[in-house]
Amino acid sequence: MRATYEWLKELVSVSASPREVSEKLTMIGLEVEGEETVEGDVVFEVNVTPNRPDCLSMTGIARELSAAFKTPLSLPPHEIQGGEPVSDFSVEILNPDLCNRYTGRVITGVKIADSPGWMKTRLEKCGIRSINNVVDVTNYVLLEFGHPLHAFDADLLKGRKIIVATAPAFKTNADALGLKAEADTVVKTLDGSEREISPESLLIWDSDRPVAVAGVMGGANTEVTERTVDVFLESAYFDPASIRKTAKRLGLASESSYRFERGTDIEFLEKALNRAALLIRETAGGTIHNIIDVYPVKYVPEPVDGAYERINRFLGIKLSKEEILEILGLLGLRAKDSGDTFTVLPPPYRRDVKRDSDVAEEVARIYGYNNIPITNPKTPLPSGRLKRRTKNIRIVREAMRKAGLTEVINFSFMSSAGLDMIGIPDADRRRNAIAVSNPLNQEEGLLRTCLVPALINNLKYNLDRGMKDIGIFELARIFEDIGNSLPLEELRVGGILYKEKLPALWREDAPGFYIVKGAVEALFEELKIGGYSFVLSGEPFLHAGQSADIYISRKRVGYIGVVSPGIVEKLDLKKQKPDIVVFEMNLDLLLSMVSDSMQYASIPKFPAVERDIALIVDESIPSANISEIVHSFPTELIEGVSVFDSFRGGNIPKGKKSLAFNIIYRSKERTLTDEEIESVHSSLVTFIAEKTGGELRR
């Protein structure tokens, strides 16, 4: 927007120099990007943001300067005294949702000629070329008041009528009246181009043809020329979205569309019409006829409630309510005081003021950003427990990465088909899913209750693209409907490992189950969690003999296992004989078991002694149970126990299995003798055999 210093001074009396005006405009949010001197006047290049269409005029910028310098705003003559002749034109709006108001005046007996020098000069300073006195007046008022106008040759308007409508609405109306008017959608605009207009675009019609593209450009068939004697002057309010779409479809941008698509002042348009009529009479003569005003959709301001204390808290200042109300008054924002609160009724040229934060911005602009004291932002430090939780979550991520897994992020949505794929029973709590009101797509209309379906989809996506070894994990929340207003949310960590079994002479890979189990145990070690165990799992989508539930302190925190053959078959991976292992743990529960304090022990002074035990026990007895039995043996010499072998077949009876354990003995007070170790060890073997009904393997 180009604005001249001399023109602004006519609207608002300021003694400031052009440089001071430029700085003031920039400081109140209207950045002056450049200045140039033209014929002794300074022209500012003002960058107006899209939310401030009211500043796309001299009056709008002057209004801002009036508030900033606290000086009154003086509008040029725009009142027309009564007694004008009645017009024989009529206006009808068939699409009031697209045109909320349409006004017009007929001016008869004009003489088309060149514009006076002062008007030409001002138009040229603002980058608009002179055409003739009537057209120049519409452009001049556009710059002065910010409202687009259009002048028709009144004698070329058929039927002495203006109809505002889309093509379908116009045709329907004509048919209803029994007229034969054709809803022609080809308009030759003032630039000489013939344009095909879409049915959604708003047009200005006379009794039987389009004469302008509403809010964008007039038609050549009613153009004001040197032969024009009578003028119909238009001033209207069009829906911004409609004008924006029309201009974009046509690839046609104009000064009018630029303003209409950002929003104009529906109340001020009458002043713009009157101002233009007066200037036409001054520069081209003629008689001004009475106004035609069709206003089907009245402007109703939307109240904005605010509190003085909240405004001050927003800005970090301490203004009295009188100071705040004064600033709002200077900007034309009428405010009703209600003690500690206020209500603002934004004028039609400030539809961007919608909430109290907008009001705070207006106060800050006029008060002066440079007057707001500089304060360092204060961010409360998290509590010790929250810091530890954040740290532990970071440890979980790092542990997964150390295990060779890559983190993925999925949407928190799923479909019931995902649960069907992994065979979750109807009675399972994971079926208590919450439906999303506005899902991204119908295939993902539920909030997910577990991570496995999404991880399997990630696996399938990568396999389809030729990946051979895949290891991924996800840390995310699941949601469960528990009958309350808010769902149950749990933070989970889950992962999936795929290793294609390829023959290799130089390596012997460990089974995927033990790789993932090792990663989980490494995580427990990082978090300093002990007392965990792995118990045979009953998850429907896991292999019955190669899966386990994870327990810590007798609480189930998750599961781990090889995906069952049935699921593998559904994924169409059977020919590849894949090794697919998944795990999922309740991270909220897991982190609650991390100790808040750390206890350190000195390095043992005395050596440890190791002994092995191989027992034949029932196949149904988990190794974790035997580990618990070992730890329950009444002695302080047992430091650790681990399983290193599980065997079935051979000379092992059917229904039995052989489990081999490594036992570590150590005393804190002395070096153990062979006799002490043998005594304790033989007693331990007898103790385990009695508890399990097993026997020592020879």
Element housing 392 (H / E): helix 384-402
CB 342 within 8 A of CB 335: yes
Q: What would the two tokens of residue 565 be? A: 């053959």
616-623 mean pLDDT = 84
Q: Convert the pLDDT of each residue in 197-249 to its tens digit.
A: 999 999 999 998 999 999 999 999 999 999 999 999 999 999 999 999 999 99
Question: How far is Cα 23 from Cα 469, in angstroms, rounded to an integer?
Answer: 63
Q: Convert the pLDDT of each residue in 517-539 to its tens digit.
A: 999 999 999 999 988 888 888 89
The reported pLDDT for the residue numbered 691 is 87
pTM greater than the 0.75 cutoff: no
Residue 468: band (very low, low, confident or very high) from pLDDT cuts 50, 70, 90: confident
The reported pLDDT for the residue numbered 186 is 86
Report the share of the chain in percent with pLDDT over 90. 66
For residue 69, the 8-state DSSP code is: H
The reported pLDDT for the residue numbered 620 is 81
Which residues touch 453 (CB under 8 Å, ≥6 apart)? 414, 418, 419, 421, 422
Residue 2: band (very low, low, confident or very high) from pLDDT cuts 50, 70, 90: very high
446-458 mean pLDDT = 94
Residue 597: band (very low, low, confident or very high) from pLDDT cuts 50, 70, 90: confident
φ and ψ of 440, to 5 deg: -65, -35
- 110-114, 576-580, 634-638, range with the lowest pLDDT: 576-580
CB 162 within 8 A of CB 235: no
Bridge partners (DSSP) of residue 4 are: 43
What is the number of alpha carbons within 13 Å of residue 540 lying toward its C-beta?
A: 11
Report the share of the chain in percent with pLDDT over 70. 96
The reported pLDDT for the residue numbered 267 is 95
- 3-17, 557-571, 574-588, range with the lowest pLDDT: 574-588
The reported pLDDT for the residue numbered 465 is 87
Domains and CATH numbers, the chain: 2-69 (3.30.56.10), 90-294 (3.50.40.10), 304-371 (3.30.56.10), 384-592 (3.30.930.10), 609-696 (3.30.70.380)
The reported pLDDT for the residue numbered 440 is 82
438-449 mean pLDDT = 87
Residue 467: band (very low, low, confident or very high) from pLDDT cuts 50, 70, 90: confident
Q: Convert the pLDDT of each residue in 29-42 to its tens digit.
A: 999 999 999 999 99
626-630 mean pLDDT = 85
The reported pLDDT for the residue numbered 669 is 87
CB 5 within 8 A of CB 18: yes
Amino acid at 682: S
CB 231 within 8 A of CB 280: yes
Q: Convert the pLDDT of each residue in 248-268 to its tens digit.
A: 999 999 999 999 999 999 999
Q: Convert the pLDDT of each residue in 86-124 to its tens digit.
A: 989 999 999 999 999 999 999 999 999 999 999 999 999
φ and ψ of 12, to 5 deg: -140, 130
CB 169 within 8 A of CB 99: no
What is the residue-averaged pLDDT of the chain? Answer: 90
The reported pLDDT for the residue numbered 503 is 61
Element housing 657 (H / E): strand 656-665
The reported pLDDT for the residue numbered 347 is 95
Question: Would you say residue 574 has pLDDT above 60?
Answer: no
- 41-55, 391-405, 526-540, range with the lowest pLDDT: 526-540
The reported pLDDT for the residue numbered 308 is 95
Question: Would you say residue 643 has pLDDT above 70?
Answer: yes
Q: Convert the pLDDT of each residue in 667-680 to its tens digit.
A: 988 898 989 889 99
Name the range with the highest mean pLDDT among 358-372, 587-601, 633-647: 358-372
The reported pLDDT for the residue numbered 381 is 67
The reported pLDDT for the residue numbered 689 is 87
Of the candidates 206, 212, 274, 275, the one whose C-alpha atom is nearest the C-alpha of residue 243 is 212
- The burial of 295, by beta-carbon neighbours within 10 Å (0-12 exposed, 13-18 middle, 19 or more buried), is given as middle
Q: What would the two tokens of residue 84 be? A: 């004008």
The reported pLDDT for the residue numbered 184 is 61
Q: What would the two tokens of residue 116 be? A: 């006076």
The reported pLDDT for the residue numbered 573 is 64
The reported pLDDT for the residue numbered 536 is 86
DSSP string, 324-345: HHHHHHHTT-EEEEETTEEEEE
Question: Would you say residue 579 has pLDDT above 90?
Answer: no
> For 229-387, where are the E strands, in sequence order?
231-238, 287-288, 292-294, 304-307, 334-338, 341-345
Say if strands 161-166 and 202-205 run parallel, antiparallel, or are unpaired: antiparallel
Q: Convert the pLDDT of each residue in 169-205 to its tens digit.
A: 998 888 887 766 555 678 999 988 999 999 999 999 9
The reported pLDDT for the residue numbered 502 is 63
- Dihedral Cα 376, 379, 381, 386, nearest 10 deg: -160
